[in-house]
Amino acid sequence: MSLRLVISESGIALSTRAEEQIRADIVEAGRRLYARGFVASNDGNISARLDGQRLVTTPKSVSKGFMTPDMMVVVDYEGKKLSGDRDPSSELPMHLEIYRNRPDVNGVVHAHPPTATGFAVAGIPLTRAVLAEVVTTLGSIPIAEYGTPSTAELPEAVRKYIKAHDGMLLANHGAVTCGNSVMSAHFKMETIEHFAKISLVARLLGREHLLSREEVGRLQGLRGTYGIAAPAPICADPEPGALTPDPSCQTVFAPEAPGERLVPDTSVASGSPAIGNDGEIRLTYAQLTELIDEAVKQIVKT
Ligand SMILES: [Zn+2]
């Protein structure tokens, strides 16, 4: 594999692989997104930094499962096409926004993984401290506000969180991830969907044990020990997390519990309806039928 060193406009040395390898990585990431069902039809888009003046991106209106390296489009950081037979994705401005805000990022992946997108549709961020590996790597996964696809609203929404997060949900749309390479961004997309599936199962089972604030502090320390690069620190919030967490921090909901590593989630009480940290109200089947019975009785009375 050939290597070359490119100095970006900002003077940051970027050790990039040859353009051919980067194109091959985009094709491979597209195949994996398609094979895992993270995209349907022509959904999704992928890009990678080539150097300080150019990036390469997927073209519009192609299935990400069946791309070839020659399909890619080379553009500058204003989005102007420099080479390629096709036009770039209409979501290119979102990618450009991420590169502008994150000089450390060399690859961006956008997809619609079904479970994570379900959370994005429900307005439930993946910000609970429940899986040590997710806390250590991604920290938290907030939801960027809804923006009409292909408009300036989407980059605007992403800008709020991208400085502190390598991955986020896009309200009523999907998810976007970034990393120091295309495959790194792709694997973060896999992590988000995997985390969303596990969170969904735990919620279906009716309870979650949360990592304590103290345990989250230990995980923060592991980042240093293992050299895990993250754009911002993890901030453990002892209160049920706000829907709009501090965008300069990777805010996770982790209750204070000195001496404990795991804490039962008290917001999911078994005997009464519970209001989750994201504002959702949880009812058991018995509670729901009781409520309906009561309502019917009231209607019959009047
Ligand atoms: Zn999309």
In a domain, 295, yes or no: no
Q: Domain boundary at 146, 181, 205, which?
A: 205
In a domain, 296, yes or no: no
256 is an active site residue: no
Whether residue 181 is found in the same domain as residue 223: no
In a domain, 300, yes or no: no
The pLDDT of residue 72 is 98
Q: Domain boundary at 152, 187, 205, which?
A: 205
Report the largest interatomic distance among the alpha carbons of the chain, rounded to a whole angstrom.
81
For 21-56, write each residue's pLDDT tens digit: 999 999 999 999 999 999 999 999 999 999 999 999
Predicted confidence (pLDDT) at residue 7 exceeds the cutoff of 60:
no
The pLDDT of residue 271 is 43
**Catalytic residue (one of 19, 20, 78, 91):** 91
In a domain, 299, yes or no: no
Ligand 1: centre distance to CA 162 (Å): 17
Predicted confidence (pLDDT) at residue 100 exceeds the cutoff of 60:
yes
Predicted confidence (pLDDT) at residue 10 exceeds the cutoff of 50:
no
Q: What percent of the chain has pLDDT over 70?
A: 83
Predicted confidence (pLDDT) at residue 1 exceeds the cutoff of 70:
no
Ligand 1: centre distance to CA 45 (Å): 8
- What's the mean pLDDT when you consider all of the chain? 87
In a domain, 301, yes or no: no
- The CATH number for 135's domain is 3.40.225.10
Total domains present in the chain? 2
In a domain, 105, yes or no: yes
In a domain, 239, yes or no: yes
State the residue range of the domain holding 90: 3-205
Whether residue 13 is found in the same domain as residue 160: yes
Whether residue 90 is found in the same domain as residue 180: yes
Whether residue 181 is found in the same domain as residue 233: no
Indicate the pTM of the whole model.
0.83
The residue-averaged pLDDT of 91-115 equals 97
Q: Domain boundary at 163, 182, 205, which?
A: 205
For 117-151, write each residue's pLDDT tens digit: 999 999 999 999 999 999 999 999 999 999 998 89
Residues whose Cβ atom is located within 5 A of ion ligand 1: 174
Say if residues 131 and 198 touch (Cβ distance below 8 Å).
yes
The pLDDT of residue 113 is 98
Ligand 1: centre distance to CA 142 (Å): 17
Whether residue 266 is found in the same domain as residue 199: no
The pLDDT of residue 11 is 39
The pLDDT of residue 153 is 95
Whether residue 196 is found in the same domain as residue 218: no
Predicted confidence (pLDDT) at residue 68 exceeds the cutoff of 50:
yes
Whether residue 222 is found in the same domain as residue 156: no
Ligand 1: centre distance to CA 172 (Å): 10
Say if residues 73 and 86 touch (Cβ distance below 8 Å).
yes
Whether residue 13 is found in the same domain as residue 148: yes
Whether residue 215 is found in the same domain as residue 182: no
Ligand 1: centre distance to CA 74 (Å): 20
Whether residue 152 is found in the same domain as residue 277: no
φ, ψ (nearest 5 deg) of residue 171: -50, 130
Whether residue 42 is found in the same domain as residue 105: yes
Ligand 1: centre distance to CA 43 (Å): 6
Band of pLDDT at residue 2, cut at 50, 70 and 90: very low
Whether residue 187 is found in the same domain as residue 40: yes
In a domain, 297, yes or no: no
For 251-284, write each residue's pLDDT tens digit: 999 988 889 999 988 565 444 455 555 555 666 6
The pLDDT of residue 20 is 95
